[in-house]
Every structure is written in C-alpha cells, then in structure tokens.
Amino acid sequence: MDADRPITTADDDRLGFTPVANHLAQVILDQSATDGLVFGIEGKWGSGKSTLINLTIASLENASPAPEIIEYSPWLVGSRDDLLSHLFDELAAAASNIDAIEVSPNEQPRTLYERIRKRIFGDEHLRLRRKERLKKQLGGKLRAFGTMAGGLSRAMKATTVLGVPHAEIAGSLIDRAGDTAKSLFTSGSLTKRKAEIVEALKLISRRIVVFVDDLDRLEPREASEVLRLIRAVADFPNIIYVLSYDVDVVSNTLQKAVQVDDGRAFLEKIIQVSFRVPRPEAFDLRRWFHEEVHRLFASDLSNVSSQQLPSTHRLARAIDTQGGRYLKTPRDVVRALNALRLHAIPVRTHIDVADMVWLQLVRIGNPMLYEWIEEYLTETSAVYRGAMVGEQEARRSGLRLQEILAREHLDDDRTRIELSGILPGVSRGLGNQDDPHRVFNNLGRNLFNTFVAERRLGSPEHYRYYFAFAQPAGALSDEQVEVFLQLAEQDRDAAIRMFTELGAQARPQGGVMAELMIERLIAAVDRISPAAVPGIISALSEVLDDVALSTRDGDWGQHRAWGAAEHLVERLLGGIADPAMRQDCLSRLFTFGKAIGWQTSMLRSEIFAHGHYGDRTQPEEQRLLTQLEFEASLSSMLRRYADMPPQQLRAVPNLVSLLYAWQQGAGNSNDARRWVEASTQTDEDLLAFLSRARGWMSRNDEVLYPLKRRELADFLDYDAAVQRVRLIAGNAQTPEAQRRLATELLVAFQQGEHD
C-alpha cells in the first residue's frame, strides 16, 4: 500500500514540481531580511501542497548559506494555550544554531577576563566567543518571551473562566493566542524585550523559515489561533513563514471561528503573498497511473493471449476515459492505486483487470454510480439464476441511473454506450429516456456467457469478487471448473463423482451446484479440450435426471438444467472432428448413464429435426446428429425403454415425454401403450404411474400439475383410469396413504380437463 505521503526528493517527482519548488526557494532566499514575510501555498486537498513544501525545503537545504528550517506542527501541541510558547521554543532552538553576523575586529574587550583571553588567544577567539554568547542570548530571550506569553495566556483564560472584570480585555478564547502575543508586544514592560529580540534577530547570519503544512486540516479554533499567532509575530526580521492550505476551507473555517463576514479578506490580512499549486497535466496523471497499473499487474498483462487483446484495449480506454474524468490530483492517483492493491491483488485470478480498474476509478470519482452498479449487478445475477425483474423495478433503476449521470453532467447516451460494454443489459438505444428496457435488456444466456468466460465485472459468477473479495454466494469458483475439466479429460469416473456431488449440493438461491457447472462450461466451451468432452457427456448422462428431480421446474415444466445441458452438448460436439471420439461421445450420450429422461429429451429433438415424426424437419446443418448417428442412437434408446424395469422407468422425470419418444421413435407402435397397461395392473402401480405422469399448467399466477386427457389418452383408457382412482379414494379398506394420493389425483384429473 502507498501511505499517500508526499515525496521528499526530486528523484521521485513525477509531475514536475521540482522546478516550481526551486523557484519558490529562490524567492524566499532573495527576500529582504528587514522584515518578516508570511507566504501562502494554496491548493486543494491532494493537489501536492505537501510535496511542494518538501521539495522547497530540500532546495533551501541545498542553498549556500542554507536557512534554518522549522517544520511547525501546531496539531501536535497538546493545548491551544501552548501554541505561542511552543513556537518560540522552536524559534529559540533554530536561532541557537545560527551564528551572528561578523563582529567588528576593532571591538575592545569589555571585561578583565576578556582582555586576558585576548592577550593569550588573540582577536579571533574573542569574536567566536562573542558569537556564541549572542546565539545563547537570542535563544534565551525567545524562550523567555514564549514562556511569559504562555503564562499570560493561561492567566487570561483563568480570568475569563472566573469572571474577573478585566477579562473583557482578553477577548474571546478563539483569539487568545494571537491576542496574548499582541498584548505582550504592546505592554510597556515587554516593549523593551520585543525590541531586544528584534535587534538580536537582525544580527543572525542566516534566516529562519517556518513551514506550517495542512493548515486546512486543523479544527476551526486551532486554525484561527495559528493564523492570529503568526500575524502577531510576522514582523520579526529574518523570519519567513510558509503556510499551506486550501483557501476555500480555511476561509470557511475563519468565518465560523472568528465570526467574520469574509474569510478570504481576513486571510489576506495575514498572508502577504500567495502561490497556487499548479494543477498537474491530466495526461501526466493518467500516464503515471497507467505505468503503476502495468507494474501492479505485470504478470497478468504480459500473459494475455491473442484472444484477450481486447482486454488490454479496454484497460487503455478505461484509464483514458475514467482516468481523465476522475484523476484530478496526485492524491486521486494514489487512492486509485491503493484501491487496486486492496480490491484487485487478492482476487487477481478471478477478475478482469480492465474492468476492475474501470470500477475503482468510478468508485473514487462517482460513489453514487458505484453503488448503483453494485445494486444493478446483484439484480442481473438474480436474473441469471432464473429470477425476473418487473417493469416497475426496471424503470426505477433506469431513472436512478439517469439521475446519477445528470448530476455529474455526463452525456446520457454516450455514457450508456460505455456502460453497455461493461454491464450486461444496459441498452445503447437512443429511445425514450423513461424506457425501462434501457436496463435489464436482453439478459440471455449468450450475453451472460460472454462476461463469465472472461471473468468480467458483469459476470454473475465473478461480480462479487470486484466488491467483496469473494465469489457470489452459491457460486462456483474458477478453480472448481478447472478441476472438473481436468478430471473429465484424465479420470472420467472421478468427473462423474464430482458432478454427482455438485448435483446433491443445494444452493442458497435454490437449485443445485451442478446447474452452475453446466453454465460455466457453456461459457468456457471455446477453450475446452476435445479430450474432455466424452467425460463431460458421461457426467451429464449420469446425473441430470437426479438434478431435475431435486430442483424446481421452470416455465412449462421444463427443467432448466436440461435445456442448458442440451445447448452445451451441441456446442461440444460441434468441436469434435475425430470420428472415433465423436462416436464415443454419442455412445455415452444415448447408450449409458442413468439420466435417461434427459437423454430422451435430446432424442426427441432429433426425432423432429430428422422428420422421423411430425412436420418440423430441420436442415441437415441444424441437426445434432447425422442420419446414421440418429438411427443408431434411436435404436439404442428404444432397446433401453423396453429393457428397463417398470419401477425404474416410472422414476424418470417427464415420463409422458419419454412415452411419446418411445411411441414416435418406434413409428407409432403400441409398445409404449402396452408397457403402460402392463405396469398399471395393481392399484398401487396405477397411482405410482399417474403420480409421475402429471403435467404442468399455470392459471391465475398459480402453478398446477394436472393429469391431461390429451396426453394420457394415447397410453391408457383415460376414463377407466379416472373411475379406478375414484374407487380407490372411496374404498375404506384401501390404505389411508393411497386414498389421500387418489384424492389428490382426482383433483389433478379435474384440472387436466380444463387444459
């Protein structure tokens, strides 16, 4: 971490402050010694005031002769009443380090002791002793004066507290230190002391420069007292005061603390000449930030592949646009770099560097936009998991974004174009400003997968890394995905075990972790090795029915994991050119595995695509299987239907869909109907079959699971089945559990009649 400390040497100067500091130092050195001077360095917080002071001090120290430097820190003084005495202690210490100007060699010894020493050691020794005596006398006078001033200040405070009549002479507590100095200087008993100090200061051979940095960080009373104090002693010869401050902050402070109408005018009475810290060139700040970012992420950026080159372009664009917008001072650069060290370095393997840089620049420059981004990505992540965003919520979010952009006077359409490349669903459109679809727009799988594959800020699997050092709750880590891919390539049984474990691991948002693995594989499909594809398909064919049975159905009763897995397989097989490997994949897809329900879903799509049944024939290039592959896969699946034990077949999700695949695949044979008749002979078997044959229907925002006549009539005598269930429900001799189930199924029959 950068401690955000000002630089102290010219070697560290990135922004060209050294020539300015050298000029200021020369101005101080050229100042007449007759009177004191109060010099002001003005600048906003973080603009480089302290750096400019440090470099000026360094330049003064290299001068010949160099002045005595005091870095006065009033905020370190324990009591406001001690400010004056503390300053004079500092002045005394500095004066004790400075020789007096050359004493006249013709000056005669004033005492017998001096005459004896002159005769023994000569005139030079006498001059040196007198210089030492002058230094000690000046230091003693300054310390004594500070001690007396501090004592009077405390006495004045006591009189104010105790209500002594002449307390009114002291003034308010706010002005005490300065008023104390004025009283001391104007009182008859101390006028002579002041004159002695002034005459002694005229004799020092080097001047004293007092630097007071960060005046604007003091409390109002402290700041006003320091200014009044300096004003009271500003006319001491050979002493120059250099104050640094934000003029707006100090002016407001004075208006509150001293109760004046114009804080700037009050400040001008104290500051005799001021200099404003030059604003660094915006390009210099961005270049500095750019160099440090590349130093921080050297390994990440040097290993960028040709496919990731757009990331480096986005990084340059982020620094250029957001950096130009929000990097106004050196402190802004330091804060941004520290933010990256804190937020990015610990999670560097889980993020996109360009997006993190962009986000941290926004965080520093526009906190409201930063908060909106976090809230928006939380919502898009929920959409990715299956939730929906209502029109009212979308409009609220869109209008909030519009307000934030307007507050910063950013062009709405241009900024949305920028955001659309970073946040999923932000529309580039130039339509109605109130259009809710300008956010949460077209949040489909393909859009999300682009962000996930590159670990972008907009990735639902990675966005929390950008805000909270951790992946989203219930998300898969990149490491887990990589482990699965390695197992799929090297140890297929281990890959199946891992996928089975993910299928049993519930997520806090609902569903299971295996569903996320499928989505992550889709996002990474372009970099999956062909050697891993048979292992991936093996895991899908083994586990996906269990996933469907353990998770909530999606719309129209479809299992989300099944549709995603079908899309994944289509993408994976499209990248397999080796005939033997492709045959291995198809064998694992339609011949092996317990997930026969999902395999049937894949098969039915091909039954229609090949025109084997229905009138939805697809062009050859849009089919998953060639004609020969389809015929072999269909034959294999039909054998599996016929050979599977009834209770095992009944356990398949979407049982009716399997029966239709059997019927349609076998050329409208009665094999499926005969199987149903044979497997529903007993009341218990009938109830078990009907429980698995229920469909899906939405009515008045309520999801129902009916027994639909139009689906079941192809496989059994529908009316006879209804009558049998009615008899079971009304038979007192039937076990209670069966009667309850029969009653429930009668309701399902009624619902199915209205489908």
304 alpha-carbon distance from chain centroid:
22
- pLDDT, tens only, 296-329: 898 887 765 444 446 788 899 999 989 888 988 8
At 284, list the tokens.
């210099």
At 600, list the tokens.
């049937």
Whether the Cβ atoms of residue 267 and residue 250 lie closer than 8 Å to each other: yes
Cα R_g (the chain), whole angstroms: 42
Whether the Cβ atoms of residue 28 and residue 209 lie closer than 8 Å to each other: yes
The b-or-e profile of 181-209 (16+ CB within 10 A means b, else e) is: bbbbbeeeebeebbeebeebbebbebbbb
- 3-class DSSP state of 699: strand
- Name the residue among 394, 435, 449, 440 with its Cα closest to residue 419: 440
Report CA-CA distances (Å) from 156 to 116, 150, 185, 714: 50, 10, 15, 107
What count of other Cβ atoms lies within 10 Å of the Cβ of residue 630? 20
- 3-class DSSP state of 101: coil
Whether the Cβ atoms of residue 336 and residue 319 lie closer than 8 Å to each other: no
Q: What are phi and psi of 273, to 5 degrees?
A: -150, 145
DSSP 682: S
The overall pTM is greater than 0.75? no
- 3-class DSSP state of 209: strand
Q: What is the pLDDT of residue 687?
A: 95
Q: What is the pLDDT of residue 145?
A: 60
Largest Cα separation within the chain, whole Å, is 143
- Name the residue among 475, 471, 467 with its Cα closest to residue 343: 467
Q: What are phi and psi of 339, to 5 degrees?
A: -65, -40
DSSP 109: P
At 630, list the tokens.
């389809």
What count of other Cβ atoms lies within 10 Å of the Cβ of residue 606? 20
Q: What is the pLDDT of residue 170?
A: 33
- Name the residue among 379, 354, 445, 368 with its Cα closest to residue 401: 368
Give the sign of the dihedral formed by CA 372, CA 375, CA 378, CA 379: negative
| H/E element, 274 | strand 273-276
- pLDDT, tens only, 16-48: 778 888 888 888 888 776 667 888 888 887 777
Integer Cα distance of 125 and 127 in angstroms: 5
The residue ranges of the chain whose pLDDT is under 50 are 1, 3, 149-188, 305-309, 554-555
At 343, list the tokens.
């937020």
